[in-house]
Structure formats: C-alpha cells, structure tokens
Chain A
Amino acid sequence: MSNIAIHCEGLGKQYRLGAASQHRYKALRDVLAGAATAPFRAAAALARGERVRKEKPAPFWALRDVSFDIEHGEIVGVIGRNGAGKSTLLKILSKITTPTTGYARIHGRVGSLLEVGSGFHPELTGRDNIYMNGAILGMTRREIERKFDEIVAFAEVEKFVDTPVKRYSSGMYLRLAFAVAAHLEPEILFVDEVLAVGDAAFQKKCLGKMNEVSRQGRTIIFVSHNMTALRNLCTRAIWLADGKVVEDGEAGAVVADYLQRNSSSRLETVWDDPGTAPGNDRVRLHSVRVIPKSVDEAGQITVSSPIQLEFCYWNLVPDAVLHISIFLYSLEEVCIFNVGSEAAPRPRGLIRHTCEIPGNLLNDGCYYLRLLIVRDLSTPIFTHNNVAAFEVRDLPRAGAWYGKWQGAVRPNLKWATEVIGAESSLVRS
C-alpha cells in the first residue's frame, strides 16, 4: 500500500451567482409561472425582432484545479484570505458537497470538524448531546460509552451532565462541544477554524489537544488564520487564493511568503475620473490615503506612529445624508475596530473625511481597511473590502525579550507605581 492518505487532482467547485441567486431559494411558483409564460415571452421577443436570450447566471469558481497528495502522518495547514476556497476544499474532502470537476481519493477513516457541536440541541441534556454529537461525528455508541467520562472531564461539566444545554454558559457549551470532537479518533482529520472561537484559555486547550493529536501520527488538514498556530503545528502548508493553489510546501516558508505578499502596503490610491472610479450612481470613490505622521529611519510606520486616514468621494445626489464607516482588519482577518464619521446632509461634489489613529494603539502587524459609505445612517450604498493596506513595524527593543507582544492592540498605558508601605509593613502586627 502506498503511503498516500489524500490524493486530489483537478478539484474544482463552481457556484452559480447572479440572476438565479438573487433570491437564494427558488420558488416552485416562480418556476411554474416562468415555464408557463416562457413561450409567450419568446414569441413577444421574436415579434420585436430580438433574439431569445436565456438568462445565464455568471459562474463563480470557489475552487479551481486544485491538486495535491498528502501522506499519512502529515499535518497540513491551509491558508488564504476569506473566500479563497479553504472551506470549500474541506467540504469537498468531507463529502458534504460534491466537486464540479476533478477527483479525490482518501485512504482511511475520516473525521471532519467543520464546526463544534453539530447536532447539539438546546433542549437535550449534556449527556444526550454527547451521544448525539458523537454519533453524528461518526462514533459508535460503544465508543462513546467508553469515552464518556473522559469527555465530561475534559469539558469540566461533571455537575451539569444531566442539565439541558440551554442552561449552559456559552463557555461550557463550547467546551462540551469541543470535548466530544477532541475524542474522535479518525485516521484523517479535517479541522476548520473551530479554534477561532472561545476564550484564550479554551483556545490554548484546543491547541494543546491538536498538538497531542498531531503527535499520534494522524493525518490532519487544518484551516486557520492563526499563523502562529499553523507554524507550530503544521509540517506543510497550502496557500489558496481565488480558489487556486499559490504555494504548497514547508509550513514556515509558505506562511512567510503569504504574510509577505499580503503585507504589500497600499498607502495611497487615487481615481481621477468620476466616470470610472469605483462606485455607483450615488457615490464614486476619489481617493484613499494612509498618511503616517511620523516614521522611523527606514521610512516605516511603527507602533508609535499616529496615522492619518483620508477618504475622498464624489457625492452625486444633492443633500444625501451620508457618512463613512471604516473597518480595520489584521491579516488574520480579525476586526480591530470599526468607526464611523458623523452623518450629515452633503451637497453634490467632492467630500473628504479624515481621522487619525493615535500612535501607540496598534500592535505591530499588517492591516487593511474596509470602507462603507452609508446613507441615512443605515443603508450601505458602497462597500470596498480592501481600500488600503499598511504595515506597522515594531520599535527596536531595549530589553532581552524579542517575542511578539500579544493582543490585537498595544496601547501605551500610563502606569503609576509607588511604594505604599514601608519595610515595617512586612511584619505582621
């Protein structure tokens, strides 16, 4: 037997977008009415001398021509931006959906964790849900019985096993759900971003478990935005972009290339022509600028730099009540903040909004900006998912520690430290 666990060749998945999916669901009523009136519409069109057009929705390839082989025992991370096809790949390999093209062969018992707590029902007790979820994940009743106590202990819900899970705190719920999943013993495991939920302690526990599992020689495919975890856990990484494999190789190298590619700063973009600038008949974008107020010797933005953001757009509707809303995302797709300008009626013409991100707020890393132009305080009329990107560098450090500071932000908090008792206070009176 060869040592191949997963063999994929030319996997592709096409979704239909456009006309048909405007309403996500089809209604039988519409289909019947459409079929009944089609001959008349065709006749009318012919009478007008037009060609009969069939509305064909635009195809969209979520995954395109993906091929790879994974050997038994490999831990493979899949990286890429949202919508790059990572989840689609896992869904195909887990047989949840069928590919449009290609072929895959999987040797061994598969377990897939695309979410935790599949089949959980709030009315059922913890005990019932363990059995239900276990069965759904592919465990037999005997297997679950054998591991039951272990699962309950791992989840730390001993006292609440016979309580309906609707009374659980969200933390308990999550722990229980993960505990069942963690005791699944497949030869091949697909894991999708389940670790992105829960508090830090929980995530640590999950990563610990993943680490343990990975050392047992099982094959794992792991989708994550957590680059640190990826680098530590995986031996190999596959980078997907727009449904295609960009790079496939040693995890550290692929992650480094991925971060490098995505860090490319776009500090300034200007569209001169209101006719072709991104937008619509209400607003058109004119320019976006990221202006650091201070830089280091290399000309780079650092954690201490205040950063001015400037957004200009043409308003084409007189007295439209407009404001802009910006989202700052880290490369791991974590939203760092979302702020909006004040809303007010704007005249026709070029509008500029500026704001400033203070220095000593952002942690070092790569960021990108999503822009929404909103009408009447509630209706987004224009969205751009990535209008600008910039990198914040760390400052040279004086200390002996060179690890990355944890956290989404890195505020420079004012500390006050004082001695509030003399040495004599050590003695118990």
Chain B
Amino acid sequence: MASDAAARLASAPQRDPDYTEIYPASGWAALKLGELWRYRELLLFLTWREIKVRYKQTAIGAGWALIQPLFTMLIFTLFFGRLAKMPSEGVPYSVFSLTALVPWIFFANGLTLSSNSLVGNANLIGKVYFPRLLIPISSVLSGFVDFVLAFILLALFCMYEGVRVHGAIVWLPVFLLLATVACLGVGLWFSALNVEYRDVRYIIPFLTQLWLFATPVVYPASLLGGRWRSVYGLNPMVSVVEGFRWAVLGTARPEGGMLAFSAVTAVVLLVSGAFYFRRMEQNFADIV
C-alpha cells in the first residue's frame, strides 16, 4: 500500500506535487517546458493514437506513405524531367526529385496536420487539461512513421539507380531535425491561428503549394545566382532539401551562409510560434 502511494506520488504526471495555482490569463506566458516534460508519456500516447487511427482509417493504410511520394515523383519526372528538361545536377531526375520529396512531404503533411490538430481535438481541449502544445507536437511526430517508410522507398530507388552511399549521409539527421523544427514552428503558428480564425485552414493547402515551388524540389537550387543563395536560405526547407540531396546523392554541399539563414529562421519560427501558442492557449477552451 505504501509503495503504491509512493509510486503514485513519484509518477504524478499531472502537476506539482505541492500545489497548483490558478491565475487569470496574462498576455505572454512562460513556455513551461518542465510541464511538457512531465507529460511526455501522454505525448507518446497522442502520437501513437494519431498514427494508429490514420493507418486504420485509410483503405490502403501505410501504403499511403509510399503512394504519395512515388506518384508525385512520377508526375514530376514526366513533366519537369522529361518534358521541361529541368537540370538535375547529374543524377537521374527521378532520384533527384524523390530525394527532395521525402523531406518535403514530411514537412507539408506535418504542417497540415498540426495546423488542423487543435480544431480536430476541440472536444478534448474543452474537457481535459494537459499542455495544449502536445497536440500539434504529436501531429508532427506522427509524421516520422511515414517518413521512415518513404525513406526506405528512396533507399530502394537509389540502389536501383546505382547511387552510391556517401559519407555525408551522417548529416541526414541534422537536416531532418531542421525540417522538424521548421514544420513545428509553422504548425504552432497556424494551429493557434486556426482556433481564432477559422478560415486559416483554407490558406494552408494554398500556402504549402506555393511553398513547394519556393523550395528547390522540382529544380536545383543552383538555378539561382550565388549572391541570392544565402537569402534563399530564409526558407528553411531550401537547406533541408539541398542537405538531403547532398547527404543522399552527393551533390554540391549546401553553403554555410544558406544553412545559417535557414537554422536561424527555423528556430525563430519555433520559439515565436511556441510563445504565440502559449499566449493564445489560455483562451482555447472558450473559443475552440
């Protein structure tokens, strides 16, 4: 019995064992990362639920994670590669575009899912307390399963096309992290905005479409003049895509200035998104 109580106290995931204080909403609020950490188990559960439900609800289940990049790649290869004769830095256009599509789809899906996540979980928000940040975070995290499947597809394709593995492949996780940070940053902004302004969700498909063409997915970044390349890095996905190509295909290494711009933008997006989210969070239950 005593150990029982002790276990409960030690595991108390909810709140401070001492006391909880409740104050009126007060503009900008602290991020409470410690609380987020205490709720890490719920984060895993929410992520797991999202993955499980998604694969159960679609007829083809996990196949969707492969079909999306595969078919997009085929269409891009046909139109941009064959018909438009887009340069692809010496690698077959199919592999060239698929290498970019894998992180891009991870980013675009994560962005869409997280942006709609709060509205989709309105019922939960109105009835239970937990750090609301968990909801968009779990949406982004759930995309990793799709990413892994898509990456396996990419690996098979590279083997088929005879692409050799480079030492630069060890940098891949860094670029995946950059994609995650950027995705979560934008996702936090949009999920919070979406609660307040319900037409935001109509902007998101449009935005991702524009963003796709602002990112060197169908074309190489080298098309842009060198002087602008760094500024181009303000779009973090530029570095992610160029980084993936470098790490997987061994194309030119992304330059430092561009990477720095991307990293700073992504971090600024994430931090500002988190603070904006926390500020809006205080009223979510009343308006969602």
Contact = CB atoms under 8 A, between A and B. Distances in A.
Interface in B7-55: 7-8, 11-15, 17-25, 41-42, 45, 49, 52-53
A142 B21 CA distance: 28
A93 interface: yes
Contact of A142 (B11, B12, B23): B11
Contacts, number: 126
Given A27-B198, A100-B24, A101-B24, A112 B12 contact: no
Contact of A28 (B19, B24, B197, B286): B197
A143 interface: yes
A360 interface: no
A186 B127 CA distance: 17
B130 A136 contact: yes
B45 A95 contact: no
A103 B193 CA distance: 28
A109 B17 contact: yes
Contact of A91 (B11, B45, B282, B285): B285
A108 B8 CA distance: 12
Contacts of B200: 28
A140 to B, nearest CB: 4
A1 to B, nearest CB: 10
A347 interface: no
Nearest to A139: B13
Contacts of A139: 13
A26 B287 CA distance: 10
Contacts of A123: 52-53, 56-57
A91 B130 CA distance: 13
> Helix, strand, loop or mixed for chain B's interface?
helix
The interface size bin for chain B is 35 or more
A96 interface: yes
A29 interface: yes
Contact of A31 (B41, B42, B53, B197): B197
Interface string A112-137: 10110011010110001001100111
Give the one of B18, B125, B129, B199 with max A CB within 10 A.
Answer: B129
B177 interface: no
B129 A95 contact: yes
B126 interface: yes
17 contacts: A15-B286, A28-B199, A94-B129, A96-B126, A98-B22, A98-B25, A99-B23, A105-B19, A105-B21, A106-B19, A109-B8, A109-B12, A114-B127, A124-B53, A132-B45, A137-B128, A140-B41
